[in-house]
Amino acid sequence: MVITFVGFVGGWATQFLGMDTALASALLAATVVTYFTFLPSFIMIFMGGPLIETTHHNLKLTAPLTGITAAVVGVILNLALFFAYHVFYPKGLTGSVDFFSVFLSAAALLCIFRFKVGVIPIIIGCVIAGLTFKLLLN
């Protein structure tokens, strides 16, 4: 979406189709930028997908992918801990704990893992609870 917007603004500003064609130039530029941004990835997926499928039983190729998967899980866990630290302790470890954030996170985890609620309803519920808390109670 950002790339499309940048293409739109660039087309609007340059009016490369001629005078008084700002909208047409902007729409064409946004379309071209979006198309050529995502086209290479789709080509790689459609052409490389069958090749990757043929390597499922080749241990020389699947073993490194297992290590890469473990590394990605570690990066995601590190990022989760980084965000938890900055959300639960907004002023650092010397400041106080934001108990509302801790409670909301625990309630979201409980709803996801115990009651099998979907992620989107959890996000919407947390947004509503957070806005209500910030606007009315804080």
Write out the DSSP string of 105-128.
HHHHHHHHHTS---HHHHHHHHHH
Q: Are 88 and 102 in contact (CB under 8 A)?
A: yes
Mean pLDDT, the chain, integer: 92
- Say what the pLDDT of residue 56 is: 82
Q: Is residue 136 predicted with pLDDT exceeding 80?
A: yes
Structure tokens at 129: 């609870």
Q: What is the mean pLDDT of residues 39-57?
A: 86
- Within 8 A by CB and 6+ apart from 129, the residues are 104
Virtual CA dihedral for 110, 111, 116, 117, nearest 10 degrees? -160
Q: Is residue 138 predicted with pLDDT exceeding 80?
A: no
Q: What is the mean pLDDT of residues 6-17?
A: 92
**Residue 18's pLDDT band (cuts 50, 70, 90):** confident
Q: Is residue 87 predicted with pLDDT exceeding 80?
A: yes
DSSP-based three-state secondary structure for 98: coil
**Residue 55's pLDDT band (cuts 50, 70, 90):** confident
How far is the C-alpha of 14 from the C-alpha of 25, rounded, in Å? 8
Largest Cα span, the chain: 61
- Say what the pLDDT of residue 114 is: 96
Domain residue spans of the chain = 1-54
